[in-house]
Structures are given as C-alpha cells and as structure tokens.
Amino acid sequence: MKILVTGAEGFIGSHLVEGLLKKGHKVKALVLYNSFNSLGWIDTFQNSTKKKIDVILGDVRDKEFIDRSLIGVDVVINLAALISIPYSYTASRSYIETNVTGLLNILSASINRKIKQVIQISTSEVYGTPKSVPIKEDFLINAQSPYAASKVAADQLALSYFKSYGLPVSIIRPFNTYGPRQSTRAIIPTIITQALYNDKIEIGSLFPKRDLLFVEDTVEGIISAIGNKKSIGNIINIGSGYEISIKELAKKICRLLNINKTLKTKKIRKRPNKSEVLRLLASTQKAKKILKWSPKNKGAKGLELGLIKTINWYKKKENLKYFKKSNFYY
C-alpha cells in the first residue's frame, strides 16, 4: 500500500514514516517547501532508509499541487499543521490556512483521485478543560486557543466529507505526544534541556495535568487505523490513560536525571487564564475496541520508561545541534 504522509519532516511525522517503512508500506513523504532544501528530521535518517522514501517538497495550501501529489496514492495521513499554541495567538489566520484550508485541499483531491482512506490527525486540545475525566470522544468540544479552534474546524470538515461524499475518513486524536525529536519549546524537552544545561527550570503554569503518550505508541495507534473499516467516520482517542501535573512531571524528570534544580514559573510561558486547559486524560476504550490498540508505555511505569528514552536522546550532544540553544531558556 502506498501512503502519503503530510508533515513528514516533523516530530511525529518522521517517526510515522519510519514506522510505516518497518511495516512494509511504500511511503510518499510531503515536506514543506523551503529554500534550504531541508527535509527536517528525514535528513537525519540513514541513506539506506532515505532511499526507500519518495520525498516531495510542497505545501498543503496549494490545491493543484496536492491534487497532483495524490496520483498513485492509496492512503493519506495528514500531519501537516501549525501546532504551537503561543504562536496561534499572534498568527491565527495562518493556522486556518494550513490546518483547515490545507485539509480541504487534501479532502477534495482525495475524492478526485479516489483515495481509499484519509486519516486526519487531531489533538486533545479540542476538548479544552473537561467537566470530568477520562475524556470520551463524545465529550463537549471546547476550543480554548486559536490552534484548538483550527483543529476543531478541520475535524468537522473531514467528517463532513465522509457524511456528504462518502469519503473514507478516520480521525485519530492523540493526547500529548512526547519523545525524541520533539521541539525544545514543548514541555518535556523544555524541562529536560533546562535541567541539563541551565541553573534553573523556568516553565509556565505548574498545575495543569496531562496525559502523556510516548511517540512510538502514537505511531502504532495511527498505523492501526490504516485499512480499518470500523474506524471510518469515527473519532478515536489515543492516550496513555494516565495523568500527571506539570509540577510532578518536572520533579520526576529531575529525579531520573539525579539533578536538583529550582523550579520557577515564567510569565511568558503562561497561557491567558481562560485559554489554559487544566486537565487532559484520555478514555481509550474506543481505541481498544475498534483499533485493537493500547499503549505499550502506560501508567506511571510506562511514563518513566518513555521519559528515560527521551532523556537519553536529549543528553546526546549530537542531537542538540538541531535546536537553537536559546530555545532551552525560552
């Protein structure tokens, strides 16, 4: 099966490309066009792996380009998205153009090219702060940031194409994914790099709780939806089913590093009060039933194992060259 992965150069996308290749799929990787000819994390792959990937540079916002890109493709997995919540406060329109209009182009082209399945990757941020946990897929949608609003719109657009045109669409909704290659502006790499290379750890609010899903589990969850007829027309959460506060997470990382660092709140890292999502914890019953999926790294022990793998990756100086050092202190 030939699978087009958009956003293939990114954190989750690059891991997904590797996972698909291991499963024997043919992969077409769409990388955002840039004048540096950078393939993002794909550039770090061994040449033997890169030779197996059909890489194309372009932009999901270009309708004609997307239509041509889908020739000969069986399945599209859409990971192309702007994801930074802080940036969405200042550049909201760009989130609509990429996250919504970009998906519209994919959906329209998928009808034209008779694509067998479109897998749209959602986000737990669409739930906002829930009234109760664990969060089921039929819970109230409550976008608390422009980023979350763009993903709500994208998910509903995808479902509308299933209902209106019969396009086979599956929506996979990962909770907070972490692991090697994640931006050092994300919470776990932020804590790890500051603990290793700064005299103190400065982060935003300490009290929100998150369901943290190791990237290998996220990839397996996405792959399990490929060709799964029961997933068509459905939204499916994938998470660890375990929650931890940011404060306790920072303490755990320091303990694993055997480092004692002062933990401080930095105003620039805080969201506006009404925009802060206070708690996210996934119900994964639907994923177990439909996808036959459950995370390998689950519970407190699973989180610890995932964090150790992540810490070991960020401790290698050769990996840090891909990040701006100033991001460690942002």
List the beta bridge partners of residue 55: 29
> Which stretch of DSSP H or E encloses residue 238?
strand 235-238
d(CA 236, CA 175): 11
Position 146 scores a pLDDT of: 98
Q: Closest Cα partner for 82 from 64, 54, 103?
A: 103
pLDDT tier at 288 (50, 70, 90 boundaries)?
A: very high
Annotated domain spans of the chain: 2-177+215-242+280-297
Model confidence at 260: pLDDT above 90: yes
pLDDT at 330: 38
Whether residue 326 has pLDDT greater than 70? no
Do you find a cis peptide bond into 134, omega within 30 degrees of 0? yes
Task: Provide the pLDDT confidence category of residue 325 given band limits of 50, 70 and 90.
Answer: low
| C-alpha dist (Å) from residue 196 to 299, 300, 318 | 25, 23, 15
Taking residues 41-62, report their average pLDDT: 98
Q: Which amino acid is at 7?
A: G
Q: How many other CB atoms are there within 10 angstroms of residue 192's CB atom?
A: 27
Q: How far is CA 3 from the centre of its chain?
A: 18
**DSSP 3-state of 228:** coil
Tell me if residue 21 falls in helix, strand or coil. helix
Average pLDDT over residues 149-154: 98
Query: How far apart are the C-alpha atoms of 74 and 330, rounded to whole Å?
Result: 41
Residues in the chain: 330
Average pLDDT over residues 252-263: 96
Q: What is the DSSP secondary structure assignment for residue 316, as one 8-state letter?
A: -
324 pLDDT more than 90: no
Nearest 5 degrees, angle CA 5-CA 308-CA 294?
Answer: 55
Question: What one-character DSSP code corresponds to residue 49?
Answer: H
pLDDT, tens digit (0-9, with 9 covering 90-100), for 58-86 = 999 999 999 999 999 999 999 999 999 99
CATH tag, 2-177+215-242+280-297: 3.40.50.720
Mean pLDDT of 146-151: 98
How many whole angstroms separate alpha carbon 223 and alpha carbon 19? Answer: 8
∠ at Cα 28 (23, 31), nearest 5°? Answer: 120
Spatial distance between the Cα atoms of 115 and 127, rounded to a whole number of angstroms:
29
- Model confidence over 185-198: pLDDT tens digits? 999 999 999 999 99
| Arithmetic mean of pLDDT over the chain | 96
pLDDT of residue 269: 81
Task: Determine the average pLDDT of the residues in 301-326.
Answer: 92
pLDDT beyond 70 at 181: yes
Instruction: Please enumerate in sequence order all residues whose Cβ is within 8 A of that of 254, keeping only pairs 6 or more positions apart, or say none.
Output: 191, 195, 201, 260, 261
> Do 66 and 106 form a contact (C-beta atoms < 8 A)?
yes
**Cα–Cα distance list, 79 to 11, 102, 168, 192 (Å):** 10, 11, 17, 25
The β-bridge relationship of strands 26-32 and 176-178 is unpaired
Q: Which residue has the tokens 């889908």?
A: 70
Please give the full DSSP string across 83-121, using - where no structure is assigned.
Answer: --HHHHHH-HHHHIIIIIIHHHHHHHHHHHTT-SEEEEE
Cβ-based neighbours of 123, under 8 Å, separated by 6 or more: 83, 147, 148, 151, 173, 174
- Compute the distance between CA of residue 222 and CA of residue 238 in angstroms, rounded to an integer: 9
Task: Give the pLDDT score at 21.
Answer: 98
Percent of the chain surpassing pLDDT 70: 98
pLDDT reading at 329 higher than 70: no
